[in-house]
């Protein structure tokens, strides 16, 4: 069987190297190569099994080959995951198959004791497959909800953050920093009427900061769990703005939490031309924005003061 698989592979390579390639012959010989190789490997492992620490690994080799053959045409984005998850199930099938033939041409039901052994073995392989799938699920959660990486898994009996690094900047800080960057682009260095228009747009919901800022961020599912809000207090010298990033889902803590950052918008005077010709009367009034650091995670009621925008 293995020699036939090598012969089929040579024919497959030859049909591919033709000009133009003989695609029908290529697919036919390629399929023959895979079938003969799997059958030959299975036969070899049944007759002369390879053992590792006293455990026969031949069925795992055959199961891996079967998973590659059967699932090779799946979309690339989840092909490898499907191969790994189905590998234990195919291995269990390969280990069970000889028990139904026992040297006979036609299959027959094995004895009760063998059936019990096969049931326990198959359930064990199903458990391995489920844990592999659960590992892929956790990995996908970490990608879509990076805030989970900032939580403490010390009390978890099944999730271990081994080899997984938490993001250098937590997602909440990234969002509130992006809110600051957006407002700075709209306000910093603008004339006072323009700055006042931006503030009015926020308060009248003509500028939806939640949707606008999230469009500037990487598209992950966790974005929908954050609510971006703010408050404005008008002062004699300008405005006081407080930015809030509120996390409303999947926290391991008991309560929701939020981050906040305080900013001050004031008026300054800048010359419209070079510093060498500065007529003071032509100095233009410009808006200036200064922000403090982002607060730590805070639970409890959100201190909304002043006019609210989102």
The string of pLDDT tens digits covering residues 178-196 is 999 999 998 888 888 888 8
Q: Which residue has the higher pLDDT, 140 or 91?
A: 91
Q: Which two tokens stand for residue 227?
A: 């609510």
Rg (CA), the chain: 33
Considering the chain, what is the average pLDDT of its residues? 83
Q: Which two tokens stand for residue 106?
A: 């036609």
* Full DSSP string of 231-295: EEEEETTEEEEEEEEEE-S--SSSS-EEEEEEEEEEEEEE-SS-TTS--GGGPEEEEEEEE-PPP
The predicted structure's pLDDT at residue 120: 93
The predicted structure's pLDDT at residue 279: 47
pLDDT band for 124, please (50, 70, 90 cuts).
Answer: very high
Residue 175 carries which DSSP code? H
* pLDDT > 80? residue 43: yes
User: Rounded to whole angstroms, how far apart are CA atoms 206 and 201?
Assistant: 5
* pLDDT > 60? residue 149: yes
The predicted structure's pLDDT at residue 87: 93
Residue 168 carries which DSSP code? S
Q: What are phi and psi of 49, to 5 degrees?
A: -70, 145
* pLDDT > 80? residue 161: no
Q: Where are the domains of the chain?
A: 2-147, 171-309
pLDDT band for 273, please (50, 70, 90 cuts).
Answer: low
pLDDT tens by residue, 287-305:
888 999 998 888 878 888 8
The predicted structure's pLDDT at residue 153: 65
Q: Which two tokens stand for residue 197?
A: 């228009």
The answer to whether the CB of 94 falls within 8 A of the CB of 62 is: yes
pLDDT band for 20, please (50, 70, 90 cuts).
Answer: confident
User: Rounded to whole angstroms, how far apart are CA atoms 148 and 167?
Assistant: 10
Peptide bond into 20 cis (omega under 30): yes
pLDDT tens by residue, 232-242:
998 887 888 99
- The pTM assigned to this predicted structure is 0.68
pLDDT tens by residue, 188-220:
888 888 888 888 888 888 888 888 899 888 888
* pLDDT > 70? residue 282: no
pLDDT band for 275, please (50, 70, 90 cuts).
Answer: low
Q: What average pLDDT does this structure show over 77-83?
A: 87
């Amino acid at each position: 069987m293995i020699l036939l698989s090598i012969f089929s592979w040579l024919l497959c390579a030859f049909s591919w190297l033709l000009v133009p390639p003989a695609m029908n012959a290529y697919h036919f010989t390629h399929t023959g190569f895979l079938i003969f190789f799997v059958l030959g490997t299975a036969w070899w492992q049944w007759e002369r099994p390879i053992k590792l620490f006293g455990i026969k690994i031949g069925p795992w080799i055959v199961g891996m080959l079967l998973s590659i053959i059967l699932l090779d045409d799946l979309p690339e984005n989840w092909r490898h995951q499907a191969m790994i998850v189905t590998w234990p199930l195919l291995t269990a099938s390969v280990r069970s198959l000889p028990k139904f033939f026992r040297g006979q041409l036609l299959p027959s039901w094995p004895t009760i004791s063998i059936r019990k052994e096969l049931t326990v073995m198959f359930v064990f392989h199903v458990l391995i497959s489920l844990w592999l799938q659960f590992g892929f699920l956790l990995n996908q959660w970490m990608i879509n909800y990076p805030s989970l990486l900032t939580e403490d898994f010390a009390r978890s009996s099944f999730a271990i953050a081994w080899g997984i690094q938490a993001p250098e900047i937590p997602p909440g800080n990234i969002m509130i920093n992006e809110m600051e960057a957006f407002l700075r682009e709209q306000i910093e260095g603008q004339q006072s009427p323009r700055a006042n228009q931006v503030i009015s747009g926020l308060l009248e919901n003509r500028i939806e900061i939640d949707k606008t800022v999230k469009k500037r961020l990487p598209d992950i599912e966790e974005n929908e769990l954050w609510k971006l809000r703010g408050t404005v207090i008008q002062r004699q010298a300008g405005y006081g703005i407080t930015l809030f990033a509120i996390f409303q889902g999947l926290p391991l803590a008991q309560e929701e939490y939020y981050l906040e950052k305080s900013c001050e918008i004031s008026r300054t005077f800048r010359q419209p031309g070079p510093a060498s010709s500065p007529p003071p009367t032509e100095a233009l009034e410009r808006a200036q924005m200064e922000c403090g650091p982002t607060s730590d995670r805070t639970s409890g009621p959100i201190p909304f003061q002043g006019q609210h925008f989102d």
